[in-house]
Amino acid sequence: MRFVVRRLSMFLFTLWAAMTLNFFIPRFMPGNPLQALEARTRAKLSPAALESILSSFGYKPNAGLVPQYFTYLKDMVTGQWGQSIGLSLGQPVRDIVFQSLPWTLGLIGLTTVIAFLLGNVAGIVAGWRRGGTLDSWLPSTLVVTANLPYYWIGMLLILVFATTLNWLPADFNYDPSILPGFSPGFIGSVAQHAVLPAFTLLITSIGGWILTMRNNMITTVAEDYVRMARAKGLSDRKIMFNYAARNAMLPNISGFAMSLGFVLSGSVLVEYVFNYPGLGYQLLNAVDNNDYPLMQVLFMLYTVSVLVALLAADFFMAWLDPRAREKG
């Protein structure tokens, strides 16, 4: 119980600290929303009019930082997220977030899960058959692919599969001429548009899982209980999955929990390259245009998701390993 209380209070303190930074750091960036709007309207429009447009959407250039900070804390907690004062001028931040969230969760979230599953299975097999065919080329290839920049892979895939071969669409989350709905055409279109960005992420993220899993397997396979299992004459498959892999996977599980936490903030550049309207892209626009209301909500979501994932991983490890509970 003491463990739970300590972890929870640490969680709340970190959350408060992060949210405070989220409020102040954007406001110390150069420029302000008014200058960004003037730049977007290319100095054609009257600054007085632009300022009163922004004011009508809740921008208070002259209010002090401290009162604004307390309003901000209250608004974040109560869900009064306000309206965008950047590129999506006047659109409620809630709408922007809920319209982008499913796409990021769907694309990045699913890809993270798939990369984890595939990567672990491949790592198990490679580690089990150490020095085998798979193991001889896989690790060296993966060291390379895991370190390639993912936007570069994305551009390469676009060049080959979209521009040259014309097999797959290179932009958007679905064909914009289709009305969204539960129709086979729409779902097919969504799947088709997800292929290239998903492969981009898969190619670059799967390597890490495979390499860790392979190395853990090699260590575990040398353990006494595996030799014991062999001595008992158990089938290879049973030893591989039930004895070796089960233990080798433990470190990867907490890594997986953390990478789920990073899904939301995940892939600004992948969304940018593939014109995929998810949260990462909204963040880029918010930062470019000093869109404080949108920026602070997105940062809050990222913070909360990472902290929740870490907390969950802590509890999970504590449940798996009683020693973690004692050490607190």
Partner 1 sequence: MRRTKILAAGAAIGLAAAVAGCSSTKHSGDTGSSSTGGNTVPALSANLKAGGTVTIANETGATWNCQFNPLTTNQQEANGYLYESLLYINPLQSSATPTPMLATSYTWNSTDTQLTFDVRSGVKWSDGTAFTAQDVAYTFNLLKQYNSLDTYALWTAPSGGGAGLTSVTASGDKVTMAFSTNASVFFYDVANMTPIVPQHIWSKVGNPGNYTNTKPVGTGPFVVSSCSADNIKYTANPTYWMPNEPHVQTINYPAYLSNDPANNDLASGKANWGGQYIPSVNSFYVSKSSNFHIWSPPVANVSLIPNTAQGPTANLSVRQAIAYALNRAQIAAIGEQGEEPAANQTGVVTPTFNSYLNSAALTASGYSAQNTAKATAALKTAGYSTSHPLSLTVKTVTGYTDWDADLQVIKQELSAIGINITVLDEADNTFTSDLQNGNFQVIMYGPPAGPTPYYELHLMLDSANDQAIGSAAQGDYGRYKSAAVDTAFAAYASATSQSAQQAALEQVETAMLNDVPLIPVVESVDWYQYSTAELEGWPSAANQYAQPSPWTYPDVEQVLLRLYSKSAQ
Q: Which of 13-21, 63-71, 135-143, 166-174 is the region at the interface with partner 1 (rule: CB under 8 A)?
A: 166-174
Q: Measured from the CB atom, is 87 or 250 closer to partner 1?
A: 87
Which residue pairs, CB below 8 angstroms and at least 24 apart, start in 53-59?
53/89, 54/85, 57/82, 57/83, 57/84, 57/85, 57/89, 57/90, 58/82, 58/83, 58/85, 58/293, 59/33, 59/34, 59/85, 59/292
Smallest distance, partner 1 to C-beta of residue 184, A: 4
Shortest separation between residue 305's beta carbon and partner 1, angstroms? 22
Contact call for residue 87 and partner 1 (CB under 8 A): yes
Task: Convert residues 206-245 into a mask of x (bound to partner 1 by CB under 8 A) and - (unbound).
Answer: ----------------------------------------
Residue 106 in the binding site for partner 1 (CB under 8 A): no
Binding footprint of partner 1, residue count (CB under 8 A): 70
Interacting residues of 18 by C-beta distance below 8 A, sequence separation 6+: 299, 303, 307
The full DSSP string for 296-321 is HHHHHHHHHHHHHHHHHHHHHHHHH-
> Using CB under 8 A, which residues numbered 4 to 43 contact partner 1?
29-32, 35-36, 38-43
Question: Which CB atom, from 193 or from 214, has the smaller least distance to partner 1?
Answer: 193
Q: How far is the CB of 58 from partner 1 (least distance, A)?
A: 10
Contacts of residue 101, defined as CB under 8 A and 6 or more positions apart, other chains included, come to 264, 278, 279
**Residue 161 found at the interface with partner 1 (CB under 8 A):** no
Residue 186 phi, psi dihedral angles, 5° rounding = -65, -45
**Burial class (CB within 10 angstroms; exposed 0-12, middle 13-18, buried 19+) of 259:** buried
Site map (CB under 8 A) of partner 1, residues 258-297, x = contact: -------------xxxxx-x---x---x--xxx-------
Contact partners, residue 263, CB within 8 Å, separation at least 6: 104, 105, 108, 109, 112, 305
What distance in Å separates the CA atoms of residue 19 and residue 42, rounded to the nearest whole number?
A: 33
Q: How far is the CB of 64 from partner 1 (least distance, A)?
A: 20
Q: How far is the CB of 196 from partner 1 (least distance, A)?
A: 11
Residue 99 in the binding site for partner 1 (CB under 8 A): yes
How far is 107 from 104, CA to CA, in rounded Å? Answer: 5
Exactly one of 122, 170, 221, 295 binds partner 1 (CB under 8 A); which one?
Answer: 170
Instruction: Identify residues 43-72 at the interface with partner 1 (CB under 8 A).
Output: 43-50, 52-53, 55-57
Cβ(113)–Cβ(198) below 8 Å: no
Of 41 and 219, the one with the shorter C-beta distance to partner 1 is 41
State which residue, 89 or 253, has the beta carbon closest to partner 1. Answer: 89
Residue 92: what are its φ and ψ, rounded to 5°? -60, 135
Does residue 168 touch partner 1 according to CB under 8 A?
no
The C-alpha atoms of residue 318 and residue 324 are separated, in whole angstroms, by 5
**Between 52 and 136, whose beta carbon lies closer to partner 1?**
52
What residues make contact with partner 1 under the rule CB under 8 A? Answer: 29-32, 35-36, 38-50, 52-53, 55-57, 83, 86-91, 95-96, 99-100, 158, 162-163, 166, 169-181, 183-186, 188-189, 192, 271-275, 277, 281, 285, 288-290
